[in-house]
Structure 1
């Protein structure tokens, strides 16, 4: 196997890992919220409990954030499938429009919800910055392709997906951080971990994306 073949194989494997994990979270994470009321979920879910007694319009924004985030996460991996772009460019454009629309709406919803999060000021700052950058990067990617600047479009699309993937990393970090707090009640451990993830779920993603882009500009 040549060096080029090895690199191609690693990139393909990496794409599958990202794609499958993104699809898994996009499909399964929203299911509890779509199958039961917030009041019913609040008995076992701290996040649901945080929104169960909020104003109706806040709950609508919360559900909009869930649906839009899941849509963007589900479709985004398809945008990086080179064969699909080559064989079905129209499908690529349609999916792109759906993804950008979902991100802009999801980002706006996230910005509204940021001050209400469970992590206090850290969460407001972390999730608020994520919401603004997420929507901003997506819009910048669209502007680049409208200028026919494919290279810039690709770079901003990679950065946008890095932020979209925060939905996956947030859950993975919680899975790691909660059990590490030995002897601490689960609810307390969750809240402590949740104070860390507002930045941890997306800043490392963006750093990895920038490293990737510098290696393959």
Structure 2
């Protein structure tokens, strides 16, 4: 007869890959959308025109020295490239079927993170959130560079599990480009609904932006650590769901 345990486990076994696929689809779609929406205006218009329209962060950089403006553009373009390419590295099927493409894309992502991280350190002192922004965005840049560098060093040693763990962390920090904008929308929307609050859009944006330097990446990194820890437990044969009791033989 068929083992009842196998029958009972099948629905859960099917749900886990389906949930993982749905999560990867959502993450990939958000990364692509934000990369295109956030970067395209700066590639198609000047900082002066964007600042006149009070679009994005243009007003903060339009009068900065040339080196700062250049670092801002490098951060935007390289960060957008990292955001656009990173989620595809997480798809197990793509890694297995196209290892050469995975390696080439991974090298591009590492270069993009390197450029975006270093330029992020350059522009962090002139961010709109003041000291909180210097600490929050500066810490993000340092950790982003460190995670990518340690991921590269691990794969050079042939340590695939460590490489995956560090690149999961690097992706969580890259995804700050998405969560920053999500939190800005949530915080601005909450202010508009709060009775008696200042309804000026610029003021609401400034208040929201003062909170996101840490909020944009700390929760992401916490989630990444949980994912890494769960993967290690499974790899080491750690706690797993208990199997259903064996049914008596008929």
TM-score, normalization by structure 2: 0.85
1:104 aligns with 2:114: yes
Runs of 4+ in 1 over 3 A off after TM superposition: none
CA deviations 1:128-156 (Å, max 9, x no partner) are 00001001100100100111111000100
Among candidates 93, 99, 105, match of residue 95 of structure 1: 105
1:37 aligns with 2:43: no
1:214 aligns with 2:229: yes
The separation in 1 between residues aligned to 2:115 and 2:100, in whole angstroms, is: 23
**Which residues of structure 2 form unaligned runs of 5+?**
1-9, 233-250
* Residue aligned with 1:198, SS: helix
The separation in 2 between residues aligned to 1:90 and 1:108, in whole angstroms, is: 27
* Residue aligned with 2:128, SS: coil
Q: CA deviation at 1:45?
A: 2.4
* Residue aligned with 2:205, SS: helix
**Which residues of structure 1 form unaligned runs of 5+?**
none
1:62 aligns with 2:72: yes
1:149 aligns with 2:159: yes
Among candidates 60, 77, 91, match of residue 87 of structure 2: 77
Structure label with greater radius of gyration: 2
The separation in 1 between residues aligned to 2:189 and 2:28, in whole angstroms, is: 26
The separation in 2 between residues aligned to 1:88 and 1:210, in whole angstroms, is: 27
Q: CA deviation at 1:46?
A: 5.4
Q: Which residue of 1 aligns with 2:30?
A: 21
- Tell me the C-alpha RMSD between the 2 structures: 1.0
TM-score, normalization by structure 1: 0.97
The separation in 2 between residues aligned to 1:93 and 1:216, in whole angstroms, is: 22
1:203 aligns with 2:214: no
Compare 46-55 and 117-126 and name the one that shifted more. 46-55
Instruction: Map 1:117-156; keep pairs closer than 5 Å.
Output: 117-156=127-166
The separation in 1 between residues aligned to 2:201 and 2:189, in whole angstroms, is: 8
Q: Which residue of 1 aligns with 2:244?
A: none
1:180 aligns with 2:207: no
CA deviations 1:88-133 (Å, max 9, x no partner) are 1111111000000000110000000000000000000000000010
1:4 aligns with 2:10: no
Figure out how many residues of one structure are paired with residues of the other and give that number: 217
The separation in 2 between residues aligned to 1:68 and 1:93, in whole angstroms, is: 18
